């Protein structure tokens, strides 16, 4: 091979390499990035679609549960709400046979609703405390047990003290 043909061959190889580099930087890499972003967006949209489909399938159940929660929430009138919670408290105490020690209620304003938070302390044996918790949990009112602690008052654990924090929900949106 003579010098001139070798030079021409090297020039073509250099041009092909430069063309491949430019093609990679300006065409191939941006297209791959675009393809990857599009694939991620499609996956996100498919996930969102699946979630929406599940919500639509459960729409009746969700509406029914939400209506039941709103129906069982505390009334907007504070004194009626307090009265309902106190009646429920008395019913739980009578059903369980515990001895109440303290009961401290307090209204709390959240963003779109009110809660009637209560801190209660009572004493009894294990059976009466578990019955009390059962009665509290099965209450149809919108009441949630937030925390509890049980402390033994004797060495054998027969006399126990129960401290509970629970709250009742008072929605401020009208029923439809």
Region for residue 150 given its phi and psi (left: phi exceeds 0; alpha: psi -120 to 50; beta: otherwise): beta
In the chain, where are the structural domains located? 3-57, 74-171
Q: Which residues contact 150 (CB under 8 A, 6 or more apart)?
A: 129, 160, 161, 162, 163
Whole-number pLDDT of residue 118 = 95
pLDDT at 174: 52
Reference 84, options 142, 15, 27; nearest CA is 142
Write down the mean pLDDT value for the chain.
89
- Residue 8: per-residue pLDDT: 85
What tokens does 144 get? 């949630």
CA max distance for the chain = 111
Alpha-carbon span 40 to 62, nearest angstrom: 30
Q: Which residue has the higher pLDDT, 153 or 37?
A: 37
Distance from the Cα of residue 93 to its chain's centroid: 31
19-54 confidence digits (pLDDT tens): 888 877 888 888 888 899 999 999 999 999 999 999
Instruction: Assign a CATH topology to domain 74-171.
Output: Alpha-Beta Plaits (3.30.70)
pTM equals: 0.63
């Amino acid at each position: 091979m003579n010098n001139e043909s070798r030079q021409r061959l090297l020039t073509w190889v250099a041009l092909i390499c430069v063309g491949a580099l430019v093609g990679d930087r300006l065409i191939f890499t941006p297209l791959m990035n675009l393809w990857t972003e599009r694939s991620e967006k499609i996956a996100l949209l498919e996930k969102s679609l699946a979630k929406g489909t599940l919500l639509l399938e459960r729409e009746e159940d969700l509406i029914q549960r939400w209506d039941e929660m709103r129906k069982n929430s505390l009334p907007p009138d504070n004194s009626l709400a307090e009265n309902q919670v106190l009646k429920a408290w008395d019913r739980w105490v009578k059903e369980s046979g515990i001895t109440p020690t303290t009961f401290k209620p307090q209204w709390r304003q959240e963003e779109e609703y009110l809660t009637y938070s209560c801190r209660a302390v009572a004493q009894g044996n294990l059976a009466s405390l578990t019955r009390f918790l059962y009665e509290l949990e099965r209450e149809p009112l919108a009441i949630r047990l937030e925390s509890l602690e049980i402390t033994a008052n004797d060495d054998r654990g027969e006399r126990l003290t129960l401290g509970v924090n629970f709250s009742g929900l008072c929605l401020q949106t009208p029923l439809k």
